[in-house]
Amino acid sequence: MKILTGAQIRELDKYTIEHEPIASIDLMERSARAICNAICEQWTQSTPIVVFAGPGNNGGDALAMSRMLAEKGYVVDVFLFNIHNHLSEECAKNRDRIIGEGLVRKFTEITANFEPPQLTEKTLVVDGLFGSGLKEPLTGGFASLVKYINQSPSQVVSIDIPSGLMTESNRPQEEPAVVKANVTLTLHIKKLAMFFADCQQYLGEVRTLDIRLSKYFIDTFPSLYDTIETSYIKSLMLKRDDFAHKGSMGNALLIAGSRGMAGAAILASKACMRSGAGKVTALTPHCNLNIMQMAVPEAICLVDRENYYSEAIDTDCYQAVGIGPGLGKEESTALALMSQLQQTNCPIVLDADALNMLGAHGSWVQQLPNNMIMTPHPREFDRLAGRRITSDYDRLTFARDMARDLCAYIILKGHYSALCLPDGGVVFNTTGNSGMATAGSGDVLTGIITALLARGYSRKNACLMGMYLHGMAGDIAAKRVGKESLIASDIIDSLPEAFKNLEK
């Protein structure tokens, strides 16, 4: 599903209104009906409802929904904030309708001073103050109201997006004036902010309500942001030739491990073997040779004479190289890495210490050959960026620019891992869970993507499929062992089932 910006959503609204065609007020009626139904599914008529409506169409949605809830027998108190004596056309129409019907218990239009109502544990607050039309952080009276709502013991449902949260960029504020919702009922399309870790505290459970906005517009309108679709990933699956042999299924090399970090090399190599590569070779320090051979007997081992990776090797016989898990940060390792990158012609995945070493030698980042795949977690990325990152949006924007400038594929790992592409596009992954926040999980991803590259997937497809499979295997593992106990090996053990799901 594409993710549209606030400005694009306004165009989508306009397009739907013109081409369905549907009157703007009726589209609001449709949105309000969807919101009303969602609330009725979760809360009964015995729940007293307090609605805070703003002056724009978010407020209009809230007013129309209040009328519908009252028609269904809910006890609803409505507060409409019209401080500047200006309401959007649809908001004003819905104010007149609500007054005309007279079904809500209390309707108050606030033009100056506001005496807040009592909000108890039983109350359900519906937040329809501001939606996608918010222009800047809330201040003054609205900030105080948000604080009042957040300090109350009431459950809160936000319409479209919690009031105070911008649809895209949210800079950190000392005292953020953003509603903390228990449930966010977002209209038709998730907003970009909903994919960021630093916005999750405001969103609660996010439910997307279908309000039948133009499918044609969404399908044809170019968007920078997208999410992975299962059907698309399934369509990418390469078929295994019946006459395949290990030499035709991809020869992958992993440069991983150092003294005390054999585990990273083992996890990456096992994941690589489990992801379809015909042959996996691990280049690892001599001190790790025995443990490697015992733990991953399927892999071939090449050894470095030092206790760390110290020398670049010839990679002409490999179809993909993954570098970084557990590599350490010796200066000679960093030099070997740069020399390896210059002399390797096949696709390369850079992870963990490979990224940390690039971050430590700031100017090296700009010297990277084109088409690198990088899989940083937030801290690794911030080191690579070499400047202070202020928010998840800031990080994503910087990663997008970097992917374009370096012609690279950057996977920003997180709950919704984001693949930033050389053409400026971003694709969010939708599989995975918090149990995967565990040591070695990233090494597994490196192994998977390296295998997929060796198998013959393009860089973009290997990244998409790798993120998706990694998350799906994590989800399968979480079902089996639970999120608390999940370890990286469980993700590898679940890869066969994840692959089988894609073949269905």
Ligand X SMILES: NC(=O)C1=CN([C@@H]2O[C@H](COP(=O)(O)OP(=O)(O)OC[C@H]3O[C@@H](n4cnc5c(N)ncnc54)[C@H](OP(=O)(O)O)[C@@H]3O)[C@@H](O)[C@H]2O)[C@H](O)CC1
| Residue set of the binding site | 57-61, 127, 131-137, 160, 163, 264, 326, 377, 413-417, 442-443
Is the distance from CB of 354 to CB of 379 less than 8 angstroms? no
Backbone φ and ψ of 21, nearest 5°: -85, 160
The smaller minimum CB distance to ligand X, of residues 28 and 256, is found at 28
Is the distance from CB of 317 to CB of 342 less than 8 angstroms? no
The pair of three-digit structure tokens given for residue 54, joined into one six-digit string:
């703003």
Is the distance from CB of 486 to CB of 221 less than 8 angstroms? no
First to last CA, the chain: 21
| Residue 141 in the binding site for ligand X (CB under 6 A) | no
Rounded CA-CA distance 427/240 in Å is 27
Q: Which of 8, 13, 66, 373 binds ligand X (CB under 6 A)?
A: 13
The pair of three-digit structure tokens given for residue 478, joined into one six-digit string:
């979480």
Q: Per CB under 6 A, which of residues 201..220 are in contact with ligand X? A: 213
Which H/E stretch holds residue 236? helix 230-236
Please report, in range form, the residues annotated as the binding site for AMP: 413-417, 442
Rounded CA-CA distance 399/57 in Å is 34
Rounded CA-CA distance 462/369 in Å is 19
> Which range of residues in 29-37, 134-142, 155-163, 252-260 is near K ion by CB under 5 A?
155-163
**Smallest distance from K ion to CB 129, Å:** 6
Binding mask 127-146 for K ion (x = CB under 5 A): x---x---------------
- 163 touches, from ligand X, K ion, none (C-beta below 5 to 8 Å by class): K ion
Q: Which of 136, 241, 314, 316 binds ligand X (CB under 6 A)?
A: 136
**Strands, DSSP E only, in 74-122?**
76-81, 106-110
**Smallest distance from ligand X to CB 215, Å:** 13
Q: Which of 88, 94, 152, 163 binds K ion (CB under 5 A)?
A: 163
| Residue 54 in the binding site for ligand X (CB under 6 A) | yes
> Which range of residues in 53-61, 263-271, 304-312, 442-450 is near ligand X by CB under 6 A?
53-61
**Smallest distance from K ion to CB 126, Å:** 9
| Residue 31 in the binding site for ligand X (CB under 6 A) | yes
- Alpha carbon 75 to its chain centroid, in Å, reads 38
The smaller minimum CB distance to ligand X, of residues 110 and 407, is found at 110
**Smallest distance from ligand X to CB 204, Å:** 17
Neighbours of 183 (CB within 10 A): 18
Rounded CA-CA distance 28/61 in Å is 6
| Residue 66 in the binding site for K ion (CB under 5 A) | no
The smaller minimum CB distance to ligand X, of residues 135 and 245, is found at 135
Q: Which of 123, 158, 214, 315 binds K ion (CB under 5 A)?
A: 158
Is the distance from CB of 66 to CB of 104 less than 8 angstroms? yes
39 three-state secondary structure:
helix
**Smallest distance from K ion to CB 359, Å:** 39
- Alpha carbon 38 to its chain centroid, in Å, reads 24
The smaller minimum CB distance to ligand X, of residues 126 and 403, is found at 126
The smaller minimum CB distance to K ion, of residues 154 and 281, is found at 154
| Residue 132 in the binding site for ligand X (CB under 6 A) | yes
- DSSP readout, 338-375? HHHHHH--S-EEE-HHHHHHHHHSHHHHHTPPTT-EE-
- 399 touches, from ligand X, K ion, none (C-beta below 5 to 8 Å by class): none
Please report, in range form, the residues annotated as the binding site for K(+): 58, 127, 163
Number of residues that bind ligand X (CB under 6 A): 29
Q: Which of 68, 98, 159, 177 binds K ion (CB under 5 A)?
A: 159
**Strands, DSSP E only, in 357-425?**
373-374, 409-412, 418-420
| Residue 88 in the binding site for ligand X (CB under 6 A) | yes
- DSSP readout, 276-298? T-SEEEEEEEGGGHHHHHHH-TT
> Which range of residues in 49-57, 99-107, 176-184, 475-483 is near ligand X by CB under 6 A?
49-57
Sites of contact with K ion (CB under 5 A):
127, 131, 158-159, 163
Sites of contact with ligand X (CB under 6 A):
9, 12-13, 27-28, 31, 54-61, 88, 130-136, 138, 142, 159-160, 187-188, 213
